[in-house]
Amino acid sequence: MGCGGNVATLAEGAACDSLEHCPERGASNRRLNESMNQDPDFELIRRCQQQSGTAREAAFRDLFETYRDRVFNLASRLLGNPADAEDVSQEAFITVFQKLHEFRFSSRFYTWLYRVVFNLCVDHRRKGGSHAPITVTGAGGATLLAQVADSAPGPADELGDDEARRQQVERALRRLSEPLRAAIVLRYIEDMPYEEIASVLGISLGTVKSRLNRAHEQLEQGLGHPNHGSADTN
């Protein structure tokens, strides 16, 4: 495995001798530089991409420690099975280790990483991976529970106490199709803005909003509520 290579490759095409004679390329490079400067993992990724041998492995170990829990939790939310999530997490980090030299900072690193995890989860489910209950816990779970309660037509206590509400939402989540569940997990559990959800799922911004609205409708129906609310505004 390896994650060698340069930190970033400028926009393809060498038709221009200087940026001032090529406004399009200059704008592309400025956007690339802005993305690199805004990515909190820039220095860590650069270490992985530029160093070799044990230094590269140490840098990647830091990256692994930074993201291993988030990767496992995302896979667990999408697959609903800890054992499957562990397998997908390991495969995701192997993939990242092998392909990190291809990362060009056109998006934030964690968005790129989540896209890898999501695609592996889809592949795993297509291959007949096991299915187990999806859990709604932690801060992200609380956000989703609150969102469902806010969109309900009656008082929040109509859903019962916190534990009963959590179990109801988990059952409703399991009934969602994979695309709708993924949108809900990324939005409320992972707290992603719409633009990054679109990047992870490889869909348009309008499709993200449409899936979230449909997911809200189905969640409310699953909780025994009429269609009342819609997805939050970003």
The reported pLDDT for the residue numbered 195 is: 94
Q: How many angstroms from the chain centroid is the CA of residue 231?
A: 18
Report how far residue 187's alpha carbon sits from residue 171's, in angstroms, rounded to the nearest whole number: 18
Spatial contact of 134 and 219, defined as CB atoms under 8 Å apart: no
Report how far residue 225's alpha carbon sits from residue 153's, in angstroms, rounded to the nearest whole number: 7
Q: Which domains does the chain carry?
A: 21-126 (1.10.1740.10), 138-222 (1.10.10.10)
Residue-level pLDDT, tens digit, the chain, 234 residues: 444 333 333 223 333 333 344 444 444 444 445 444 567 899 999 999 998 999 999 999 999 999 999 999 899 888 878 899 999 999 999 999 999 999 988 888 999 999 999 999 989 888 875 554 455 555 555 556 566 555 554 444 554 566 777 777 777 787 888 889 889 889 888 889 999 999 999 999 999 999 999 998 888 887 765 444 445 555
Report how far residue 105's alpha carbon sits from residue 8's, in angstroms, rounded to the nearest whole number: 7
Tokens of 68: 């291993």
Report how far residue 9's alpha carbon sits from residue 22's, in angstroms, rounded to the nearest whole number: 17
Phi, psi of 43, deg, nearest 5: -65, -40
The reported pLDDT for the residue numbered 128 is: 72
Spatial contact of 103 and 109, defined as CB atoms under 8 Å apart: yes
Spatial contact of 96 and 117, defined as CB atoms under 8 Å apart: no
Is the backbone of residue 128 left (phi > 0), alpha (psi -120 to 50) or beta? Answer: left
